[in-house]
Amino acid sequence: GIRLAPKEKVEIPVLFMPAEMKIYKAQVIIHVMRENGENWLYEVTDESNTDLTRNVTVAENGETQRILWIYPIQGMTEAPQQKSVVVRCQARQRLEQRVELLLIGVIPGGTALPDAGNSAVVNADEASNTPEVTDGSSATLEFLYELQYQSDEIRSQLDSLVGMQLLQKEWDTESRIVTLIFNVVFAPGKPMRNEATLIVQCTAGGLWKFPLLFIATEPEVDDVINIVAVGLNKESIVGFKLTSQTR
């Protein structure tokens, strides 16, 4: 019942209020016809026929009766923002830390994403994977995880310094909580403070984001140089070598 003048625009709001951590699918169908119910002439050209979501109903005399647009919608449920996980290490040291993450509200048996197998990325040096979680029954859950950075500059700083590996998965069917235990490796070369986000996605539906804060503190003192004065107003010289780790 929405009346539109020629060239007029209308906004169609879509509200998404998921009740569970799963994938929701729907369709927005727009049906257009003349207000007086009469047909009209509409020439379908090659250029105008590129919209695959459009369906034109043509009468016997070649006139258009209606135009139908169908827009599929896929709703991905995202969990509330989680608390930050702090990974702290002294510069020029190597830290291995186990991080335990809780995924609340996991529902098995949902519809898997069509391209889910290719979207898991840990970092450029590690292969993508889809770890499974099972409770001993026929129901199996698959998860994808990816470490995202706020900018390309932060990615260039952390990409070679941070590694993540999923070690263990536990699924409590009563509470519907999945526990993922990651092994995080952090080997900073200099003091820094950067943020990243671990994205965890269940192929049955649901998206969880865990902020990570990587802090590299000041390194230990390399050495103490003692200079002994040979007398007042006389220079004392001590030599030491510095070796570059790169070319």
pLDDT (tens digit per residue) in 126-143:
333 444 554 433 346 788
Amino acid letter for position 119: S
Cβ atoms within 10 A of the Cβ of 8, count? 8
pLDDT at 38 over 60: yes
What sign has the CA pseudo-torsion 51, 52, 57, 59? positive
Mean pLDDT, range 10-24, rounded to an integer: 90
Closest CA to 182 of 110, 119, 123: 123
124 pLDDT band (50/70/90 cuts)? very low
Q: Report pTM.
A: 0.68
Instruction: Give the pLDDT confidence score for residue 37 in this predicted structure.
Output: 83
Domain layout of the chain by residue ranges: 23-75, 85-108+142-217
Instruction: Give the pLDDT confidence score for residue 41 in this predicted structure.
Output: 82
* Distance of alpha carbon 32 from alpha carbon 216, whole angstroms: 60
Contact by Cβ (8 Å): 108, 132: no
User: 51 vs 106, which has greater pLDDT?
Assistant: 106
To which H or E segment does residue 212 belong? strand 207-217
* Distance of alpha carbon 67 from alpha carbon 6, whole angstroms: 15
| Strands 207-217 and 85-90, bridge-based pairing | parallel
Percentage, residues of the chain above pLDDT 70 = 83
Given the candidates 1.10.8.290, 2.40.170.20, 2.60.40.2310, 1.10.10.10, the CATH classification of the domain at 85-108+142-217 is: 2.60.40.2310
Instruction: Give the pLDDT confidence score for residue 111 in this predicted structure.
Output: 40
Amino acid letter for position 50: T
pLDDT (tens digit per residue) in 75-99:
999 998 888 999 999 999 999 999 9
pLDDT (tens digit per residue) in 191-239:
999 999 999 998 888 999 999 999 999 999 988 999 999 889 999 999 9
User: DSSP character for 15?
Assistant: -
55 pLDDT band (50/70/90 cuts)? confident
